[in-house]
Amino acid sequence: MYSYYTLILLVATASCGPVKRGVAFDGYPQDFAFANFAFAKPHVPSPAEIAAAIQAAKEASASVMAAQHRVQEAKDEVLNQQHIASHKQAQAALALQKTEAAAAVQQQEAKSAANALIQAQQRLAHAKAEVAELQKIAAVKEAHAAAVIQKSAAAAAAEVQRSDETARKLAALQHSNSVTLKQANAGKDGSLSATSAAVAAANDRNGAQHVAWVAAPKYVQLNPWG
């Protein structure tokens, strides 16, 4: 018989839902953003379906036990009727030694006991057939419950594997974006440094030209008066 504690444990595990994740970067070009990952979720037996399958298996098992109890009762009845029939037949044999009238009465009682024995045997055969049929039904329902639980466990394991794969992809994208951002920032810093150096050099050249112009004497030719 399938362990019901194992069934309950698998029901609790199957009730976990998928995790949806999404990441977006604001203020950066679209190349730095990545979309949410979505996976098509296969049909997973719900906790209600699993509980219904387990309940059906329990009811089928209880029906088998009840039918087996009826078989035992029928067996007891057969043994009792056999005892009665044997006793009546012994009485009939004893009555044959007496009068014909008493023998006829005993024979009738023996015939009735034999008929009761036949009926009890028929009820026993019917009860055995009922047990066999109920055992078949119980086996089918238990197999169905086991299949439902196995499907739920497989779906839960697949969901965990997909979640792990998604986490690895997200980590790889985050690392790639981080490296790209660092390279972009390094390029910006290099451009700013080069621009600052060019401006400083231009200022130095302008200052040198100004000093040279002030230091050099300027000669102006003056014409005589008149």
Please indicate whether residue 120 or residue 13 has the higher confidence score (pLDDT): 120
* Res. 95: pLDDT tops 60: yes
Average pLDDT over residues 94-119: 85
- The percent of residues in the chain predicted with pLDDT above 70, rounded, is 63
Q: Say which residue, 128 or 224, is predicted with more confidence.
A: 128
> pLDDT grade, residue 4 (50/70/90)?
very low
pLDDT > 50? residue 92: yes
**pLDDT at 48 (0 to 100):** 92
Rounded Cα distance, 22 and 4, in Å = 39
Q: What is the DSSP string of the chain?
A: ---HHHHHHHHHHHTPPP----B--SSS-GGG-BPPP--PPPP---HHHHHHHHHHHHHHHHHHHHHHHHHHHHHHHHHHHHHHHHHHHHHHHHHHTS-HHHHHHHHHHHHHHHHHHHHHHHHHHHHHHHHHHHHHHHHHHHHHHHHHHHHHHHHHHHHHHHHHHHHHHHHHHHHHHHHHHHHHHHHHHHHHHHHHHHHHHHHHHHHHHHHHHHHS------PPP-
State which amino acid sits at residue 60: A
Lowest-pLDDT range, 106-110, 152-156, 166-170? 166-170
Q: Does residue 155 register a pLDDT over 70?
A: yes
Other Cβ atoms within 10 Å of 116 Cβ, number = 16
Q: What is the largest CA-CA distance in the chain?
A: 200
Global pTM reads 0.40
CB-based contact 65:135 (threshold 8 Å): no
Q: Look at residues 49, 65, 70, 221 and name the one whose alpha carbon lies nearest to residue 138.
A: 65
Mean pLDDT highest for which of 29-43, 44-58, 174-188? 44-58
pLDDT band at 178; cut points 50, 70, 90? confident
Q: Which whole number is the average pLDDT over 175-203?
A: 65
Is 176 or 39 the better-scoring residue by pLDDT?
176
The pLDDT value recorded for residue 190 is: 58
Percent of the chain exceeding pLDDT 90 equals: 35
- Residue type for position 4: Y
